[in-house]
Amino acid sequence: MSAAVIARHARAALLASLLLEVIGCGAGGNDRGLEYMPDMARGPAYKAFAPNTATRTGLTLQAPVPGTIARGHRADQFHYGAGEEEAARAGRELRNPLALTTAVLDDGRGLYQTYCLTCHGANGKGDGPLVVAGKIPTPPAYTSERVAAFPPGRLFHVVTRGTVDATGKQKMPSYAAQLTPGERWMVVSYVSSTLQRKATP
């Protein structure tokens, strides 16, 4: 290759680099001067509940895909349906996997006070602040003869699925969305070993 050809290539490369530098001079702040398809790196931001023309439903926040399992949960962890028969079966088959340690009972008491006390009361007698204020019907007391006989598995079923009356109306909601399975067992541990025991002489 002759010196003239090398010089021509060098000039072309220099011109190309100067051209790119000039194009890049328009950049400000932390932006690059030239980006290929910038929306791939920094897409438009949408608020969770804002309309969105890019989705089929027109909403930004989408429902999880059917069969989605929340992180930390297992698909086979609870395979009991709603209703009295399933609750009784859960009572017969489920065993509390947690040891009744002081730490478990303390955590269970804290969770009970956060999620259950408002309806069931501090001692599980069905005299929580919402009942006293007349906002909800009185729930059964843990110390009642019927509920005191519930095994831990049945209590776990109630916390997980909630309860319905004979007409199918929801009496107690499910707390599966608020409490992990481990936290539900902590509440059950506290109720069965502390509040229910008060009913047993």
Question: What CATH number corresponds to the domain at position 189?
Answer: 1.10.760.10
21 is written with which tokens? Answer: 């530098």
Residue 104 lies in a domain: yes
Number of domains in the chain: 1
Q: What integer pLDDT is reported at residue 16 of this predicted model?
A: 75
In a domain, 34, yes or no: no
The dihedral over CA atoms of 86, 92, 97, 100, expressed in degrees to the nearest 10, equals 120
pLDDT beyond 80 at 186: yes
Q: Is residue 55 part of a domain?
A: no
Per the structure, the complete domain to which residue 164 belongs is given by 93-199
β pairing state of 163-164 and 170-172: antiparallel
Residue 98 clears pLDDT 80, i.e. is over it: yes
Q: Is residue 137 included in any domain, yes or no?
A: yes
Residue 149 pLDDT > 80: yes
Q: Could you tell me if residue 11 is inside a domain?
A: no
Beta strand segments in the chain, E: 163-164, 170-172
Residue-level pLDDT at 160: 92
Q: Identify whether 6 is part of a domain.
A: no
- Residue at 59 is within a domain: no
Confirm whether 15 is domain-assigned.
no
Rounded to two decimals, the pTM is: 0.62
Q: Average pLDDT of the chain?
A: 83
**Three-state DSSP state, 51:** strand
Identity of the residue numbered 89: R
In angstroms, the CA 196 to CA 141 distance is 9
Q: How far apart are CA 119 and CA 138, in angstroms?
A: 8
Give the confidence band of 83 by pLDDT, cuts at 50, 70, 90: confident
